[in-house]
Amino acid sequence: MVIFFFVFETTLVLMYFLLYYWGSKLYKIRSGFYLFMFTIFGSILLIIGIIFLLLITGSTNLIVLENFHFSVNQQKLFAFVFTIGFGIKVPIFPFHG
């Protein structure tokens, strides 16, 4: 899961360069800043979710996570954090734009 997070974060760098080079000259710096700030907020939520998984299960291995039994409150917490985090990072309505 940690490797997935780092690879997923590299898309931020690529998106920023696409916006910076092909964006409108008037708005590209401001748009790049907004893109960076929104995606950093989503990244922080994803990191919090991954750290919670690591603290509760002791691993970020998906096979270990599949066999681990989470409480209902833990499931709700993970669903909330990962849904909001991915909703910001991936263009999903109403989090994007």
Residue 95 inside a domain? The answer is no
Long-range own/partner contacts, residues 31-40 (CB < 8 A, 24 or more apart): 36/12, 38/88, 39/12, 39/15, 39/88, 39/89
Residue 28, token pair as written in the block: 């590209």
Pair 56, 70: CB distance under 8 Å: yes
Instruction: Give pTM, 2 decimals.
Output: 0.81
Residue 94 inside a domain? The answer is no
How would you write the pLDDT of the chain (97 residues) with one tens digit per residue?
Answer: 888 888 888 888 888 788 878 877 778 888 888 888 888 898 999 999 999 999 999 998 989 999 999 999 999 999 999 999 888 888 777 766 6
pLDDT, position 13: 82
Distance, in Å, from the CA atom of 53 to the CA atom of 85, rounded to the nearest integer, reads 15
For the chain, the domain total comes to 1
Domain range for 48: 2-89
pLDDT, position 22: 80
pLDDT, position 97: 60
